Each structure stands twice: as structure tokens, then as C-alpha cells.
Amino acid sequence: MLENLKPQAADKILQLMQLYREDPRDTKIDLGVGVYKDASGHTPIMRAVKAAEKKLWEEETTKSYTALSGDPAYGTAMKSLVLADSVNHARVAAIATPGGTGAIRQAFELARLANPDCTVWTSNPTWPNHLSILKFMGLPNREYAYFDEASCTVDFGAMMESLKDVKAGDLVLLHGCCHNPTGANLTLEQYGAVADLIIEKGALALVDIAYQGFGDGLEEDAAATRLLASKLPELLIAASCSKNFGIYRERAGCLMAMTETAEGMSKAQGSLNFLNRQNYSFPPDHGARLVTMILNDDALKADWMAELEEVRNGMLGLRQQLADELRQRTNSDRFDFIATHRGMFSRIGATPEEVQVMRDQFGIYMVGDSRMNIAGLNSKTVPLLAEAIAKTCK
């Protein structure tokens, strides 16, 4: 029977990683995979995570299961981190998931349970795995306009025009901050307008917040999600701890479902627990427990926040340096948007052919749509990238 299996298309980013590894050039630059790297090209373990792991090793007495939803303390900590006091937490159900991807998958499953005829609306462009999961699940997907390729900014007018076709019971996926792959974000006022439209249409919003703390700050990056929670009667939130805690391989994610009533929350919690049981029973705990320990310990939390700020400011510095280098080399402000984008990614508007030229001639590895990982740079490689872009993107 297994002979009937068909070859699956390779993930483009994983293919890019393999090409990069096989390139013998010392000057090659990997801007593909979405992982933070320091100036030496290493993805470090954060100080607070190290300290929490040591404490856990000394104090943990069992490896027994927690609960279908994960350790309740983790859900409580994540609600506080993402939502603060924007909504009564008694209205919010939560489950631990295997990373942010697990949270996204479970959110799609929950939406389908609630409305089998649900259409999921995603931004054009969006994280490719959103689309891949939807296709695999057989969920209808429609795109809404988002990014203006010419200015590399949000085309909000076109976005709102697209969303006029949203129907009651549809799911609208929004990026909470640091839009992937473009780096271009809505303003709070624009998020408010989107919330009003979602209420008018009777739709449900899903916020994917995978980079809290990587954009304008820990609190600032949560502002849009909190605004939506304060305005909407219901909301799904898929949060990831991979980036801001640097625990990629530990797969620590969380799905929250905010409901209109306490009774609705109880139903949502039961459904979330059910979905965990069907897909993987009990979620992984190690990464989630580290996050819980850090967020509930004043000293560890303060150190984590300080290091996260160092990471964020480092990326902002690289953005500004790249924008300045490109302004100097092109004698124009064409690439100034790079300094205004936020998060790990920017999409620079290069064609697939230009991306290929940069790879072949300069050893610059970025995704074909010209999404590049700013965190893959350092102060020494920024000029090399700027030279490649200036000579290639006419």
C-alpha cells in the first residue's frame, strides 16, 4: 500500500537551507530560515532559560503527564503575557500546543468544529505554512490584499475592500505584530477598523502572534491583540514562544479562545482539550514549563526581558544600517522602508530572477519572493548584502 504514496513537494525554505550548506563560498549569507542568530551566526540559549533549566533539573520530581490542556499555570502565564488586563481571563480558554504551528493547526480545527462551512481568510502574502496547512485540511481559503509591492508598505484600502466579502462564520487570520513575510504592520487605528468590520460581518478573528518582543517592545507588540480582545466578542490567539524565548526545538506554543460568556468559555475549553486528545493527547511540557517559571519569577523575568530588548535593538540597528548602506549605494530613498519594518523579516520587492542572481553571483540566500531574515545579518555582512541588492535590483 505504501507504494501508492506520491512524492511531496519539498519545503522551499528547507531546500534553501540545503543549498546554503552546499555552497563553499566563505562570503555566503543565509537570510532564509526564520531563526534568530547573534553576530557570530549562533542561535544562543537565553540566560533566563539556562537558569530556569538548571532550577528545573534540581527541583523536578516527575515526568508524568500534566493535563490535556497542558499545565494550567502555563495558560495563565501566557494569558497575562499576551492579553494583560485587556479582557477578563475567565472568558479565555487555553491549551498548550507543540509550537506556534500546533496552535495554528488547532485553531483551524476549532473553527471547523464551530462552522464546517468556514472559509479562512489570509493576507496576501502570509506565512506559507498557513496556506499549506489549510490545503492539507481541505479548508476553503481566500486571500485579502495586504502588501503593496511598489512601496513595500501595507495597502490598507485594498485590504478593507477585499474583506468586504467576508461572510458570517468565516475566520480572518491576522498577524499580531512583525508580519511574516513582509515586516509591514497595520497601525492600531487600522486594527480597530478591521475589528469593526469583523463585528459587522459576524466573522471570527484569529491572531497569529509569533514574534512578541521582536518589533517595538514586549508590551507594544501585544497592543494590537489586546485592542482586538477589548473590541471583539470572540477571538482566537495562536502564540509562540520559539522566538522570544529562543526555545525553538522545545516547541512551546499556546492557543487561546476568548468567548463572549463564561459558559461559552467552558465549551471552548472542552473542545480545545478534545482536539489535543485527538491529535497528540498531552502536549509537550518542558518548554512550556520553562516559560512559566520565567514569567512567574521576578528576577528571571527581568533578565529575560533585558536580553529580549538586546535582541530587538540589535535587529533594529541592522535594519537602520542596511537602509543607510542602500541609500548611499543607490543615491535614493527606495529602500528606506527596511528601517521602518519590524520583526525578523522584510520583503524587499526583488523579483525571483533578481533573487536568483543574488544567490548565484553574491552567495545571498533569501526566499524567492525576496523575504529576508534580518536576524541572519551582522554589521560585517550588511555591506555585502547592500552591495548585492544595489547591483542586482534595478
Q: How far apart are CA 349 and CA 235, in angstroms?
A: 33
Q: How far is CA 377 from CA 119, 269, 314, 315, in A?
A: 38, 42, 10, 9
Catalytic annotation, pick one of 96, 205, 210, 323: 210
Count Cβ atoms below 10 Å from residue 312 Cβ, excluding itself.
21
Pairing of strands 252-258, 29-30: unpaired
Candidates 111, 224, 243, 304; catalytic one:
243
User: 23 an active-site residue?
Assistant: no
Annotated catalytic residue: which of 127, 221, 231, 323? 127
Residue from 183, 180, 174 nearest 206 by CA: 174
* Cα gap 293→310, rounded to integer Å: 21
**Residue 57 designated active-site:** no
Q: What are phi and psi of 51, to 5 degrees?
A: -65, -40
DSSP letter string, 167-190: -TT-EEEEESSS-TTT-----HHH
Cis amide leading into 283 (omega within 30):
no
**CA–CA gap between residue 241 and residue 247 (Å, rounded):** 7
Is 208 catalytic? The answer is yes
> 165 catalytic, yes or no?
no
- Candidates 155, 208, 221, 303; catalytic one: 208
Catalytic residues: 127, 208, 210, 243
